Amino acid sequence: MFFFARPGPWGVACLNSSTTSTSTLRTIASTPRIGFYTSPTLDCESSALGTIFMSTREPKSKSPRSRRNLTQAPRDGKPETILPPTPWATEQRATVYPLEYLVAHGITNITGESQCKRCDARHLMTYDLEAKFAELTAFIGARTHLMHDRAPDEWLNPVFPACPSCAQPNCMRPMIAAKKRDINWLFMLLGQTLGCCTLEQLKYFCKHTGNHRTGAKNRVLYFTYLGLCKQLLPSASSHVYPEPKSKSRQIFNPSDI
């Protein structure tokens, strides 16, 4: 279950009936904003932080033949679209709106429910979309030459925020929806906690977004991260790469940062 009301500038809202200090997680939402695109058109080629994500897979074909392809389309009997689980998700499975769209529509705080591993308290947490995405792209830019299409340890074993209730560090683990179509992908991307997903959940994302979904978890997790970045900056690749070299490879170009 998700709550969409903005919890306020403190970045976390307690879902329990008891009152709780909310200052512990203030840094989540109060991280200084960092500009990482220079124009409303997201012209990343000219951006100082032009993090480039490239999904080289062709867009889904609308042909009946493609829709029968069980590797890309929902099984027979399942609708092509879903009820978006969050305001930042589209009606396509495992797909979020581009950053430009979200900012233009005032969706700049991304919320999600987390639960403490120690005391089980649940809290609604908020991430500043632009600040946290800039943080993520900076991390990728600094580490991409070491990744080799594999998620680094930081993604495989995420560090969680401290619990506002019991104050224990590294405790607030994101709660993942039981139904995969309802997973709050963007919330976990910004928190860099997608590693909490099971391999099956990550494969679901890759299946519905045209990314690699074979191999070990670190590989599928890597493509989930880059696939979501590509959704947020869909125009980034076209400025830099005129033709894809591989139809199933995400390319990140650190030299453009």
How many residues touch Zn ion (CB under 5 A)? 7
Answer whether 164's CB lies under 8 Å from 25's CB.
yes
Question: Rounded to the nearest whole angstrom, what is the least distance from the CB of residue 165 to Zn ion in the complex?
Answer: 4
Find the shortest distance in angstroms from Cβ 167 to Zn ion.
7
Report how far residue 37's alpha carbon sits from residue 44's, in angstroms, rounded to the nearest whole number. Answer: 6
Q: In the complex with Zn ion, which residue's Cβ is closer, 103 or 166?
A: 166
CB-nearer residue toward Zn ion: 70 or 119: 119
Which of 26, 118, 143, 181 contacts Zn ion by CB under 5 A? 118
Does 119 contact Zn ion by CB under 5 A?
Answer: yes
Residues 79-88: b if buried by 16+ CB within 10 A, e if exposed: eeebebbbeb
* Choice between 163 and 257, CB closer to Zn ion: 163
Identify which of 243, 242, 241 has the alpha carbon closest to the alpha carbon of residue 252: 241
Q: Pick between residue 110 and residue 116 the one whose CB is nearest to Zn ion.
A: 116
Query: Which of 207, 208, 206 has the alpha carbon at shortest distance from 225?
Result: 206
Q: Which is nearer to Zn ion, 151 or 172 (by Cβ)?
A: 172
Burial group, residue 175, by CB count within 10 angstroms (0-12, 13-18, 19+): middle
| Strand 53-55 with 109-116, pairing | unpaired
Is residue 111 involved in binding Zn ion (CB under 5 A)? Answer: no
Binding mask 143-172 for Zn ion (x = CB under 5 A): --------------------x-xx------
**SS3 breakdown of the chain: % helix, strand, coil, rounded to 5?**
35, 10, 55
With respect to Zn ion, which residue has the nearer C-beta, 9 or 169? Answer: 169
Query: Using an 8 Å Cβ cutoff, are 89 and 181 in contact?
Result: no
**Residue 186 interacting with Zn ion (CB under 5 A):** no
Q: Residue 237 interacts with Zn ion (CB under 5 A)?
A: no
Q: Does 122 bind Zn ion (CB under 5 A)?
A: no
Binding site for Zn ion (CB under 5 A): 116, 118-119, 121, 163, 165-166
